[in-house]
Structure 1
């Protein structure tokens, strides 16, 4: 299995595209026609798929740091495109949920043409309170606005979390660069130590050679002195 940064990036990108294709089908394709609990379940699956796709993007951000500079520009463009697609479908999920909440709210609103204790069951709305419909509509609108605000707050928190994650990735990248620089410095120091050690060994070897030559010269001189003295004494 190829474990190079480019191969891993492309593997994560392929997984991301598969998640996006499934999300697109659930939001815009076959899943769009579902209603009720089936639609709610589909949207929950979309949310889980978005989490998985987000994780794939995070892995792509990690792997892109190990890609050579000569190739990184192309992969940065692909990463940017993946982030853009992820943001689009996150917003689409929020919009879809907002639309469903609005539709559910209006489907639960009182029907003026239906029979109720207020209209006597005659099919015509004769409420004693002419402002009751408006009050209920305003109440429903407030509920819808509250739900929209909560969804927007959730989106804001998700974006902040994404930014924090990106910040952590940048910190990790900086630490990785520092470790690589330290490793390079240690390697250069190791090479320098090896060279110094080799020079010291050469100097020691030469010192022993010079010492051996010196001892040899001294031995020869002593021998000559002995020979000269011997000849004088024997003569």
Structure 2
């Protein structure tokens, strides 16, 4: 499984959990509260909706890095997630507009429920940060691999250039060796001719 696919599944899991948390606040917690507590819960729910928007944005980025066949399937999922989030936004708007308040007993029960949901929200934030860190780590690994590939290519080019210089040096040495052999043969020929001339001169002087 690719890194992009693993990250998409992680974001998908985070979105499902945070959407459940938002839905619970809208259907149970907010209707049971009033006054300042209600406002605090509404603001907390709005923050979770913003986080869900960010998760969808991250999911869309990861889908672009997948194979076309997988991308088509996941894009259909993305449309459903966006539709779910839009419905949650509308439901929150309706719930926050309702001013009917609960009894003191209901407020106490809702306070305990809100504490549990806030803990879930913190867990969602931690998961989102963890996914972002994994994405950043994957990017750093890709950059490091690219850097190593460039260095390897540079070293290869330098080795090829060094091999070229070695070949040139070998050809030069071979040429020099051939010239030295030719010069030795030429020198030997000249010496033989000179010896022959000297012998001829001595013969002429002695016998003529």
**Shared topology, TM-score over 0.5?**
yes
Greater RCO (Cα-Cα under 8 Å, separation 6 or more): 2
Deviation per CA, 1:92-124, whole angstroms, max 9, x where unpaired? Answer: 542322233455789999xx9xxxxxxxxxxxx
Distance 1:140 1:53 in 2: 39
Alignment correspondent of 2:157: 184
Report the Cα offset of residue 139 of structure 1.
1.3
Alignment correspondent of 1:117: none
Would you say how many aligned residue pairs link Structure 1 and Structure 2?
136
Alignment correspondent of 2:137: 164
Alignment correspondent of 1:205: 178
Alignment correspondent of 1:67: none
The Cα RMSD (Å) is 3.0
Distance 1:56 1:198 in 2: 56
Asked if the contact 2:11/2:131 (under 8 Å) is kept, the reply is no
Query: Comparing 180-189 with 134-143, which one deviates more in the overlay?
Result: 134-143
Asked if the contact 2:18/2:121 (under 8 Å) is kept, the reply is yes
Distance 1:227 1:56 in 2: 99
Report the Cα offset of residue 196 of structure 1.
1.1
Distance 2:27 2:198 in 1: 129
Q: Determine whether 1:95 maps to 2:68.
A: no
Taking structure 1 as reference, are residues 56 and 138 closer, same or farther at Cα in structure 2, changes over 3 Å only? closer
Alignment correspondent of 2:126: 153
Task: Pick the aligned partner of 1:137 from 105, 110, 114.
Answer: 110
